[in-house]
Structure formats: structure tokens, C-alpha cells
Amino acid sequence: MRITFLGCGDAFGSGGRFNTCFMVDTPNADAGDLRFLIDCGATSLVAMRRQGVNPDSIDAVFLTHLHGDHFGGLAFLLLQAAIEKTREKPLAIAGPPGAEQSIRAAMEALFPGSGTTQFPFPIDFISLEAGLAAQVRGVTVDAFRADHGAGMQCFSLRLSIGGKSIAYTGDTAWGDNVIAAGQGADLLIAEAYFFDRVVGKHTSYFQIDDNAEAIGAKRIILTHMSDDMLARREEVPYTCAEDGLVVDL
């Protein structure tokens, strides 16, 4: 299993980083090789092009929540495929309830008239539910309710396939969801928005570090860092994500 951090930035481009978008390549015994995204922020299509990734190669997208820096790139990815007719294979999009409506609303806002686009390839929209495991393209998806507010459901996710598991906190205030999602995972990708301050409904580095033993993940990589955290990343004992970072599990 290979994870490529196409984008690891926050919503505001701190450090000149692309919005959140992690690409996972893994063998799938049921359907051959599988390539999926964890979140697809607004800048993700640019990030893919920079890394030489064909957007049409994506088999599935797993969304933690419906903020623009985590799902907004799907408007561009889907429209490019529809307009240029470059894609034929199916795409699965799994996330909080309302994902399809939010994606189409984003398309309409950005490109008026595009919200009702009929795609020339199958799209399977799957609503995840906290506490109920789902099977998507051979991936077992466990969603844990995250505390990020904004009047919508937000998740931390745990994705398992081929005996490996990746957990991602998403954006969330510290809570038991982080421990549950990351418990014993091969890799926990953890938000570390600030170093030692709690700002809004986000997780800070010190909360991850103070609870690392309870989480018990085999490896932790920090992401979604503000300028405050980026300035202190040399002080931490964990890998801090960079755009283009590649990790093999």
C-alpha cells in the first residue's frame, strides 16, 4: 500500500500547500489494483497534475466532511471528465449524507448551469453512517462522528484493505473519535492545526502527542498545519506531511 500526500495544507494555504488530498494505491484481490483519494480539497486537481496523476485513474473518493478544502476539488474533477469525455470507468464517492447535493451545488456555483450535468460514466454516491461499516470497492470504511460542526455531519475515517489500515482524523475537536479511529492503525494521519493552542473545532499537536499511547497507531503523520504549527514542526517526534510525500505500508 502506498500513500501519496497530494495536498496536506489547511484551508488557507499555509506554507503554500495544497488543500487536503491523500492518494492511496493498493492491490485489491477482488478487482485488481485500486486507487482512491481520502478527501479532495479545492486545489486537488492542480496537485494531481503537478504529481503526474491522471484524475481518471481514481476509483473512489472518501470524504470526511463537506468543507471546500476537503471536497471542493470534486467539482473540477467531475466537470473535466464530463466535458473532455476522458473517463469511462465508474467512480465511487463515499462521505457524509448530502455529499451529492453539495458537490452539485458547488459545480453550479462555480460554473453556472453545470449542476445538472449528466456524467458519461457511472457515479455511485454512498452515504456513510457513524458506527456502521461500509464496503466500497473492496475497502472497509468505518466512520466515527467528528466534532467539527457547521451544521453537517463530519467524520474521522478508518479505511482497511489487504490487512492494512489507514486512519484519518479529518478536521475535529479532540475527542474519543480520534482514539477510536486510530486504535492500532498501521498509519494515523492526524490533524495538528496549532502546536499547543486549541482553536475552533480543530485538533492541536499537543493533544495528539499527549494521547499517542492511548491511540496506539503504529505510525503517526501530522497534517493540516497552520503557520503556527509549521514554524515548530522541527520540535516534534513525528513525520510532518509535505505535498508530494510518499509513504509505503
Half-sphere CA count of 190, side-chain side, radius 13 A: 39
In whole angstroms, give the CA distance from residue 41 to residue 9. Answer: 9
* Nearest-angstrom CA–CA distance, 53 and 166: 21
The C-alpha cell at 59 is 476509483
- 69 included as an active-site residue: yes
Q: What pairing do the DSSP bridges indicate for beta strands 246-248 and 2-7?
A: antiparallel
Which residues partner with 165 through β-bridges? 160
Query: What are the strands, taking DSSP E only, across the chain?
Result: 2-7, 21-28, 32-38, 60-62, 91-95, 123-127, 134-136, 139-145, 155-161, 164-168, 187-191, 220-223, 239-240, 246-248
What's CA 8's distance to the chain center, in Å? Answer: 9
Which is catalytic among the residues 39, 69, 209, 243?
A: 69
Catalytic center residues:
69
